[in-house]
A and B are shown apart, each in its own frame.
Chain A
Amino acid sequence: MTAASTRIVVTLIFVGALAGAMVEVSGRFDEIGQWRRGPAAVREWLIYGPYREVIVESAARVPPSASVLLYSDGDPALLPYYLYPRAFYQVDVEPEFNQVFMEPAPAAYPRRRPQSFSVDWVLRVRSEQGVLVPSLLEASRR
């Protein structure tokens, strides 16, 4: 490859990289603008997404040291992050939601009877039009 053709290739690579970087940075600026200037609802949506109602209600009612038995037809993965140190348990080892987009495991995972959990709360989460709606009960009343 001659020096001239090397220069052309290098220029092309940098032009492509610069264009991609500008698109990426501009997207990030949009995100930051929404975060900085958006109303509270937008900011909450940016953090919690469709989990807002579940997280806010659980944080308000369930004490941090409590444990929760969770049933969910939506992906509950974000809950432990915002609600830690509350301990969430499920009757299935594999989160139920995984079965929506994954093949079942080669060997079936074990499953525990709900009554065998010694938990303080039971949380049922159902998906309604893309938003997760909680139904929270003290375990003693289930």
Chain B
Amino acid sequence: MSFVVPLVLVWVSGYFLRHLAGDAGRPGFSGWLGDAPEVIGLGAAAGYLLFLCGVWLRPFDSSWLAAAPLLLGAAHVWKRTRGAGTPRALAPPDPCPWKPGEIAVAAVVALACGGGLSLLFATPLFDWDARILWALKAKMLATEGTFLTDTFRDPYRLHLHPRYPLLVPWLAALPARVTGVFQERDFQAVAGLAAALGVVQLYRLCRAASSRRGALLGALLMVLTAAWLRNLFAAGVELTLTLFLLLSVQALWRWLERGRTADLVLAAVFLFGGASVKNEGLLLSLCLIAGLGLVQLRRGATGHRDLGPVFVLAALWLLLMSGWWGHLHYIPAVSDENYLGRLRPEHLPQALHRVPLLLREIGAHACDVGTWHLTWAALLLLCLSRWRRGVRADPQSLLLALVCLLYGGGIAVIYLLSPWRDLAQHIGITFDRIFLPLLPLVILLLLRRFAASPGPAR
């Protein structure tokens, strides 16, 4: 229950922010449920940004919790009283009546998701990374209310990866700032909420691309994928990253359709949210921005070629990220896993001898049917068989495919530069976590290409 107050405040912040961006919510319970990922994602990113900016002034405490909704609410009222445009009401989420078969599949998705969540909460945290990297930081933030202390800044303090971004620890620390006690369940609740919202968001994106049955099957495929379940049971932060990635994709798809600047702003906020979850989110954000640039270049043939909005998106994202990067200046780089410090072109030639091993290991993990069923084989086949007429011709599919390819390439380079003596061991430990965010993108790509039929407005 300690999670309820922060959740409501995050929700209210997201609600006001969404209205400020010019989108009113959808009517009805299904509209409310469908909007939940976007509203909560916005609220979480905005609250975290406020925390990063305000932590210079004073440590984070329960009074800060109300600051974001109050500020955004005031801005909302100010905008309304000035008559600066009424938020645009979106179409009802899904006007077609539900068929019995669809209700059955929806029930199976809800059951699988709910079952997964109940299994998550059945034990304390056992996962190594969840405890030593993320829950520890949540505990520190919950107790100290800030990261401007020796806990994060003293290089001789035993504290692994103090430079990792703090959005998930901050979210998990919110209930403790209300109740005064940090509980592992709060950390698990963040993962569980992100997992559930991710499934809803994937359904929404799938529904916009295909029939309701196709969308439900897409969501079902994600909750049945062993890699997703494993991450859920471990309370992995990758579920939160996946949610922000899907929200970014939605905002960029909308922009490709409508060309509205507010969608670019929302995309920048979601990209910031993703990059604030973990460093892979940084790479994913760069891939999405680069992917959008390539899509725009490709659209040049049809008269849409304009890289200006891509630069605007990049500039907004950099501006939002600068809040965290400013803090990083004061946090020491104390780990051998300081990949950014090793990403120098001159190191690559020395690492090329690892390419055969890298390809063999990545291939072996990608072909692990028990963990990934046919996800990666399907992506490869899709790109090979339908690139020219299927993928390249559709800007939204092209964006997804480019993100998958660019991110895969970026991760391959990072693996090549890995300081681990045993590269196979490193890939074995990290592959499932690192590539999990791409799973819903592959499902979306498959649906767009093989089950395309008109869906409702996004």
Bound together: yes
- Which residues of A approach B to under 8 Å, CB–CB? 1, 6, 9-10, 12-14, 16-21, 23-25, 28-29, 31-32, 35-36, 46-47, 70, 76-81, 84-85, 87-91, 93-95, 98, 101-106, 109-110, 112, 117
The answer to whether B336 and A94 have CB atoms under 8 Å apart is yes
Q: How far is the CB of B87 from chain A (nearest CB, A)?
A: 39
State the CA gap A25–B131 with chains docked (Å).
21
The reply on B109 being an interface residue by CB < 8 A is no
Q: Which residue of A14, A81, A87, A98 is within 8 Å of B136 (Cβ)?
A: A81
The reply on B139 being an interface residue by CB < 8 A is yes
The reply on B332 being an interface residue by CB < 8 A is yes
19 residue pairs from A and B, CB less than 8 Å apart? A13-B374, A14-B217, A20-B225, A20-B370, A24-B233, A77-B132, A80-B136, A80-B159, A81-B135, A84-B140, A84-B143, A85-B143, A89-B154, A89-B156, A89-B158, A93-B156, A94-B336, A95-B160, A112-B156
State the CA gap A21–B341 with chains docked (Å).
38
Q: Which residue of B112, B123, B154, B158 is within 8 Å of A70 (Cβ)?
A: B158
The reply on B323 being an interface residue by CB < 8 A is no
Bitwise interface map of B from 147 to 182 toward A, beta carbon under 8 Å scored 1, else 0: 000110011111110000000000000000000000
The answer to whether A32 and B158 have CB atoms under 8 Å apart is no
Chain A residue numbers with a CB within 8 Å of B341 are: 106
Q: How far is the CB of A100 from chain B (nearest CB, A)?
A: 9
State the CA gap A140–B160 with chains docked (Å).
28
The answer to whether A90 and B226 have CB atoms under 8 Å apart is no
Bitwise interface map of B from 355 to 394 toward A, beta carbon under 8 Å scored 1, else 0: 0000000000000011111100010000000000000000
Chain A residue numbers with a CB within 8 Å of B226 are: 17, 20-21, 23-24
The answer to whether B158 and A105 have CB atoms under 8 Å apart is no
The reply on B458 being an interface residue by CB < 8 A is no
CB-CB nearest 3 A-B residue pairs: A16-B373, A20-B226, A88-B158
In chain B, residues 298-352, which have Cβ atoms closer than 8 Å to a Cβ of chain A? 332, 334-338, 341-342
State which size class the interface on B falls in.
35 or more
Among B369, B378, B425, the one with the most A-chain Cβ atoms within 10 Å of its Cβ is: B369
The reply on B265 being an interface residue by CB < 8 A is no
Chain A residue numbers with a CB within 8 Å of B124 are: 35, 47
Stretch at the interface among B25-33, B74-82, B249-257, B416-424: B416-424
The reply on B122 being an interface residue by CB < 8 A is yes
Q: How far is the CB of B329 from chain A (nearest CB, A)?
A: 17
In chain B, residues 400-458, which have Cβ atoms closer than 8 Å to a Cβ of chain A? 419-422, 425, 450
User: A116 — nearest CB in chain B belongs to which residue?
Assistant: B156
State the CA gap A80–B374 with chains docked (Å).
40
The answer to whether B419 and A102 have CB atoms under 8 Å apart is yes
Chain B residue numbers with a CB within 8 Å of A6 are: 450
The answer to whether A78 and B123 have CB atoms under 8 Å apart is no
